[in-house]
C-alpha cells in the first residue's frame, strides 16, 4: 500500500500527507477564545427585560389567586371572562380551553394535574416561569443572555411547539369527549 522511496509518485505523496497527523497546536482555536467581555445592555434594554419579567410574574401571581376548576375548564370565568363560546356552540373545547386551569395547577406545584388538563398550558407555564427568571437575570446583570436564542434556528423549537399545541388540543378533545377531563 505504501510506496517505497524508489517509486514515489505525486499521488502517493499526496495520500501520505493526507493521512499524516495534524501538527499539535499550542494555542486554542479562535472559536473557543473570548475576545473581550460581551457588551452589556443599556438601561433601556434592562428596563425592557424587567418589564417582561414583571408581566410573567403577574401572570403567575394571578394564577395563584385562582382556584382550579375541577372540570378542567372555565377557571377563567372567576376573573370575569365569559365561558368559551367555541365549547358552547360546538360541544368541543377550543385550543386554549383549560389553559387557565393548567396555570392554576402549575403554580400550586401540581405538574401532573397541569399537564393532564391541558398539556400545552403546562408547557406555556414552564416557559413563563423560565422567561421570568431569564428576564430578571438580564435586568439585574445586563448580560444579553437572550441572544443565545439566536444560536438555535427557529425551526428547532417553533415547529415542535406548534405540533405539540395541535396534539395537546387533540388530547383535550379526547378527555372531554370521554368525560374524563378535570383533576379531582
- Closest CA relative to residue 107, chosen from 82, 86, 129: 129
Can you tell me which residue has the cell 475576545?
35
pLDDT at 115: 96
Phi-psi region of 112 (alpha: psi -120 to 50; beta: other; left: phi over 0): alpha
pLDDT at 144: 86
Find how far residue 184's CA is from the centre of its chain: 28
Is 59 within 8 Å of 103 (Cβ atoms)? yes
Digitized pLDDT (tens) for each residue of the chain, 184 residues in all: 455 555 555 555 555 555 556 666 677 666 666 666 767 889 999 999 999 999 999 999 999 999 999 888 889 998 899 999 999 999 999 999 999 999 999 999 999 999 999 999 999 999 999 999 999 999 999 988 877 788 888 889 999 999 999 999 999 999 999 999 887 7
pLDDT at 7: 54
Give the integer Cα–Cα distance in Å for 104 and 73.
Answer: 11
pLDDT at 148: 79
Domain boundaries, the chain: 43-143+152-177
- What global pTM score does this model have? 0.77
Give the integer Cα–Cα distance in Å for 41 and 125.
Answer: 27
The CA-based diameter of the chain, rounded to the nearest angstrom, is 93
Give the integer Cα–Cα distance in Å for 119 and 115.
Answer: 4
- The grid cell for 115 is 399537564
pLDDT at 145: 81
* Residue 5 CA neighbour count, 13 Å, CB half: 0
- Per-residue HEC secondary structure of 82-116 comes to CCCHHHHHHCCCCCCCCHHHHHHHHHCCCHHHHHH
Amino acid at each position: 500500500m505504501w510506496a517505497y522511496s524508489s517509486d514515489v509518485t505525486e499521488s502517493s505523496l499526496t495520500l501520505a500527507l493526507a493521512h499524516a497527523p495534524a501538527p499539535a497546536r499550542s494555542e486554542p482555536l479562535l472559536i473557543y477564545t473570548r475576545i473581550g467581555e460581551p457588551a452589556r445592555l443599556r438601561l433601556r434594554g434592562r428596563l425592557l427585560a424587567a418589564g417582561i419579567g414583571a408581566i410573567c410574574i403577574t401572570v403567575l401571581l394571578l394564577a395563584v389567586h385562582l382556584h382550579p376548576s375541577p372540570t378542567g375548564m372555565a377557571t377563567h370565568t372567576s376573573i370575569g371572562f365569559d365561558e368559551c363560546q367555541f365549547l358552547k356552540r360546538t360541544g368541543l373545547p377550543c385550543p386554549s380551553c383549560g389553559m387557565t386551569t393548567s396555570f392554576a395547577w402549575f403554580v400550586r406545584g401540581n405538574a401532573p394535574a397541569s399537564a393532564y388538563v391541558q398539556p400545552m398550558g403546562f408547557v406555556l407555564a414552564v416557559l413563563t416561569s423560565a422567561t421570568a427568571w431569564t428576564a430578571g437575570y438580564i435586568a439585574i446583570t445586563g448580560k444579553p443572555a437572550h441572544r443565545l436564542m439566536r444560536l438555535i434556528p427557529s425551526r428547532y423549537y417553533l415547529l415542535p411547539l406548534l405540533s405539540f399545541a395541535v396534539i395537546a388540543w387533540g388530547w383535550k378533545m379526547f378527555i372531554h369527549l370521554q368525560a374524563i377531563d378535570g383533576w379531582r
